[in-house]
Amino acid sequence: MLKIEEYEPDIAKGLKGKDLLTLLDYTSEEISFLLQYAYNMKQDTLQGKLPPLLAGKTLGMIFEKHSTRTRISFEVGMIHLGGHAMFMNARDLQIGRGESVYDTGNVLSEYLDGVMIRANSHEMVKELALHTSVPVINGLTDIFHPCQALADLLTIKEVKGSLAGLKLAYVGDGNNVAHSLVIAAANMGMHVAVATPKGFEFNPNLLVKAKKIAVLNGGSVYDTIDPVDAVLDADVVYTDVWTSMGQEEEAALRLEAFKAFQINDKLVAHAKKDYLFLHCLPAHREEEVSASVIDGPNSRVFQQAGNRLHAQKAVLASLL
């Protein structure tokens, strides 16, 4: 594999030291670079040829929310790249006892080469990045999940061979995963249909931005309340849980509101025969998706989860 400074040097130079808070801050060329770099890294990892690009570097990982894929993929990613990752539960830090974000950001900058944070509030993460001189990576907030979207597109590209012109149907909650996925797909010139129940729509301001991005890249984005309309002739069908962390009190309400939005055999019959099913996990079988779909031949959810590792490595090597 070419070293990052040798591979698309102008793009690589622009990414060094940059934060990853939302893919709205990244150009289509930068996203394409990260996807190709992740693919290259995956091939080198499988062949045991990945160089220690981050030897001597330390990533601090702050968690306000529980995690399986985010924590493990970032930690293993740093190990693969020759660096070290440090897990920090937000409750165990002074920020959990009232220390200001300003002080925390400045202190972390003295110790670390980068910070990955999985947080409740996107505004807090933005403030942390403002006061941190090293790159800050959004591992999930209430509005965005950019690292997940990179792994999603990497998976689609691996299976389908390209991204531009494909139809992606997102069916379910208009949440952080949906926001980042649609923005990423719009940048790649995909045609995106978002189907959400009334009251659980995709953020309207982000929808406007995604539509503009898609048009610039030869794609399109539209929203609907009809899952069949969204899935019709889709190349990719994607969903997420109906009740995310912190929304447990809304579970009964959401089960009722989303019952017509389950991804099942009847719904995916409207997609292309070779459609690809994706889910960011964890999944609730027979809730947002039937077991027959998520465990069926069109599902690539574990390949998708595995690609979190390689997408993370591309981000880490580029920014750090």
What number of residues does the chain have? 320
Cβ burial, residue 41 (10 Å; 0-12/13-18/19+): buried
135 is in an annotated binding site: no
254 is in an annotated binding site: no
94 is in an annotated binding site: yes
146 is in an annotated binding site: yes
Q: How many CA atoms lie within 13 A of 201 on its CB side?
A: 13
* Residue 179 annotated among the catalytic residues of the structure: no
* Rounded (to 5) percent helix, strand, coil in the chain: 50, 15, 35
25 is in an annotated binding site: no
245 is in an annotated binding site: yes
244 is in an annotated binding site: yes
- The residue from 80, 113, 148, 279 that is catalytic is 148
45 is in an annotated binding site: no
- The residue from 19, 191, 254, 280 that is catalytic is 280
- The residue from 145, 179, 191, 254 that is catalytic is 145
- The residue from 80, 113, 118, 310 that is catalytic is 118
* Residue 285 annotated among the catalytic residues of the structure: no
308 is in an annotated binding site: yes
Q: 168, 232 in Cβ contact below 8 A?
A: no
- The residue from 19, 142, 173, 240 that is catalytic is 240
Report the distance separating Cα 204 and Cα 71, nearest Å. Answer: 31
Cβ burial, residue 109 (10 Å; 0-12/13-18/19+): middle
132 is in an annotated binding site: no
* Residue 122 annotated among the catalytic residues of the structure: no
Report the distance separating Cα 268 and Cα 22, nearest Å. Answer: 30
68 is in an annotated binding site: yes
148 is in an annotated binding site: yes
Report the distance separating Cα 186 and Cα 27, nearest Å. Answer: 11
* Residue 240 annotated among the catalytic residues of the structure: yes
279 is in an annotated binding site: no
**Cβ contacts of residue 172 below 8 Å, gap of 6+?**
178, 195, 196, 239, 240, 241, 242, 258, 261, 288
- The residue from 179, 191, 254, 308 that is catalytic is 308
Binding residue positions for L-ornithine: 176, 240, 244-245
Catalytic residues: 118, 145, 148, 240, 280, 308
Binding residue positions for carbamoyl phosphate: 67-70, 94, 118, 145-148, 280-281, 308
Binding residue positions: 67-70, 94, 118, 145-148, 176, 240, 244-245, 280-281, 308
